[in-house]
Structure 1
Amino acid sequence: MRKILASAVAATASLASVAAYAAQPVDWQTNFQPAATGIMEQITWFERYSLWFIVPITLFVLVLLAYCILRFRASANPTPSRTSHNTLIEVVWTVGPVVILLFLAVPSFQLLTAQYSPPEEAKLTIKATGNQWNWDYEYQTQDPLSFNSAMLTEDARKAEGKENMAVYPRLLAVDNEMVVPVNQVVRILVTASDVIHAFAMPAFGVKTDAVPGRINEIWFKAEKEGLYYGQCSELCGKDHAFMPIAIRVVSDAQYNTWLAAAKSDLPGANKALMAETDAAKVAAAGN
């Protein structure tokens, strides 16, 4: 009996580790995905901070409306007030919103500045080109590496070794993930080949339009290894909903090994990296 319970606990831990390993949308989600970058942590903080203003103001207005509806209805107030001016009210509803907006504006501008100010020079630059309905990635390295990333079809899961739906979810898993090193600034140059798309990675706190003939620049510094999912976030045609983005964050050594192998054998490099990272997560759960 104890062995059965121990096995069940180990299996549960393994599944929990796998679920945490892949940052992705979940059913009935009402908040942000877990932050994997410092910028996303700031965005999450600002969202919670702003709620301390939004919720009380919303409740106050609701109570005020209810009071006015009941107190000044025709049956209870047959003779309407003819007051046209009240200095105190004018001052309060002018100064109050100004003070509130200042408390919101200062951290908002600080966050906006941080989003456009990388802490250091980017160690890696990748060009991401949106197509209907997939992405082309080009690594701006000494020997450039280019490949296409498209949504993984159900009949291709077995061949790719991506049958675990918890790690490689339906409509989000891709055949070739973007691979980047952990704790390094990565610059993404975003454009499109046909119509307007949008490159969005919620766990990283990045999102920008991919516009034909124009290059938009974003950056991120992933602080946690793992597999992260995003999607095209600009309506781009009939298959807009089937244009996911997957980024695998690995150690420097794993990244360098993958990059060297990918230039001659991308499928083999992907499978070797996937086997190493997935096995490490399962082993950690077992411990």
Structure 2
Amino acid sequence: MKKFAAGLGALSLSASSAVAAQPEPWEMRFQEAATGIMEEITWFEEYTLWFIVPIVLLVMALLAWCMLRYRSSANPVPSRTSHNTLIEVLWTVGPVIVLLFLAIPSFQLLTRQYTPDEEPAMTIKATGVQWYWDYEYQDQENPLNFTSLMLQEGDRASAGKENTAEYPRLLAVDNELVVPVNTTVRVLVTASDVIHAFAMPSFGIKVDAVPGRINETWFKAEREGLYYGQCSELCGKDHAFMPIAIRVVSQDQYQTWYAAARQDLTGANRALMASIGSGKDEDKVAAAE
């Protein structure tokens, strides 16, 4: 019985992790972090709440006190006090201290976002087009480029992507961007027509794609999985139908996929999906036992 319960728990955990990297209904917080940068962003958001919440409550309390204490019926003769030195010092020094506590970690986080811990092992160019993404793996010896379009509902069966939990409507694509886990990836972002934006919430990256200009960002995914983002700059009538999908796999799976994708991208994607599916099945059997 215990093994059965443990197996159910593992299966439920596996199912939840499959959908953890996409927007959820009524989601109020960030998506689960898949990179160190996103973990730092999440920490900073929680850190700032320790300042924001007390300040909001204090201001609300002061407003309520002033409205009740100094209303015309309770205070028919208004005060003619022009200033109070102590209060003016407090409301000048207090905000300065708060801003320092916010500014220092925010500057540190901003520096981290622009400074990888190591030299990127690979470079990918992402070009925004109305309304899809072109990807180019900038390997001098074995370059690879392809287009990533939103998956149409009628193409799910032929693509082997009928599971809407893993390949959600309006977020799934025909060709995912595939990268190896625990690898620093440089992303060069540009556009061919209008301004777009390359955004991946679980990675903590969001950068504008501007025609005639190349912006640079980077990420290092620490967990395997399929992650979804979207164009985050209004770019025309199909702006809402321009998703980004990044599949993070093991080093061996990536090397096998990349070698095959240069000859047959569709076949390489199918083989990769099959290898990931067989791995999940083995994990489920092991958990059930």
- Secondary structure of 1:171 counterpart: coil
The 3 A distance-change label for structure 1 pair 66 and 285 is farther
Q: 2:14 aligns with which of 10, 17, 40?
A: 17
Q: How many residues in Structure 1 have an aligned counterpart in Structure 2?
A: 284
Residue in structure 1 matched with residue 208 of structure 2 by the alignment: 209
Displacement after TM superposition at 1:284 (Å): 1.8
- Secondary structure of 1:213 counterpart: coil
**What amino acid sits opposite 1:262 in the alignment?**
A
Contact 2:38 2:203 in 1 (8 A): yes
- Secondary structure of 2:245 counterpart: strand
Does structure 1 residue 166 correspond to structure 2 residue 165?
yes
Contact 2:124 2:186 in 1 (8 A): yes
Does structure 1 residue 71 correspond to structure 2 residue 69?
yes
Q: 2:88 aligns with which of 83, 87, 90?
A: 90
TM-score by length of 1: 0.95
1:97-112 equivalences under 5 Å are: 97-112=95-110
Contact 1:17 1:282 in 2 (8 A): no
1:139-154 equivalences under 5 Å are: 139-141=137-139, 142-154=141-153
**What amino acid sits opposite 2:178 in the alignment?**
V
**What amino acid sits opposite 1:81 in the alignment?**
S
TM-score by length of 2: 0.95
Does structure 1 residue 263 correspond to structure 2 residue 262?
yes
The 3 A distance-change label for structure 1 pair 170 and 234 is same
Contact 1:181 1:251 in 2 (8 A): yes
Contact 1:33 1:203 in 2 (8 A): yes
Displacement after TM superposition at 1:280 (Å): 1.6
Separation (CA, whole Å) in 2 of partners of 1:67 and 1:145: 66
- Secondary structure of 1:32 counterpart: coil
Residue in structure 2 matched with residue 185 of structure 1 by the alignment: 184
Deviations 1:117-137 (A, max 9, x none): 001111110000001110000
Does structure 1 residue 117 correspond to structure 2 residue 86?
no
Separation (CA, whole Å) in 2 of partners of 1:11 and 1:238: 44
Separation (CA, whole Å) in 1 of partners of 2:170 and 2:200: 15
Residue in structure 2 matched with residue 247 of structure 1 by the alignment: 246
Residue in structure 2 matched with residue 45 of structure 1 by the alignment: 43
Separation (CA, whole Å) in 2 of partners of 1:35 and 1:55: 24
List alignment gaps of at least 5 residues for structure 1.
Answer: none
- Secondary structure of 2:163 counterpart: coil
Displacement after TM superposition at 1:17 (Å): 1.1
Displacement after TM superposition at 1:18 (Å): 3.0
Contact 2:136 2:146 in 1 (8 A): yes
Displacement after TM superposition at 1:11 (Å): 6.3
Bigger mean CA deviation after superposition, 127-136 or 277-286: 277-286
**Runs of 4+ more than 2 Å apart:** 8-16
Deviations 1:131-158 (A, max 9, x none): 1110000000122101000110111000
Contact 1:125 1:139 in 2 (8 A): yes
**What amino acid sits opposite 2:124 in the alignment?**
I
Contact 2:7 2:284 in 1 (8 A): yes
Contact 1:131 1:194 in 2 (8 A): yes
**What amino acid sits opposite 2:213 in the alignment?**
R
Displacement after TM superposition at 1:283 (Å): 2.9
Separation (CA, whole Å) in 2 of partners of 1:163 and 1:15: 19
Residue in structure 1 matched with residue 34 of structure 2 by the alignment: 36
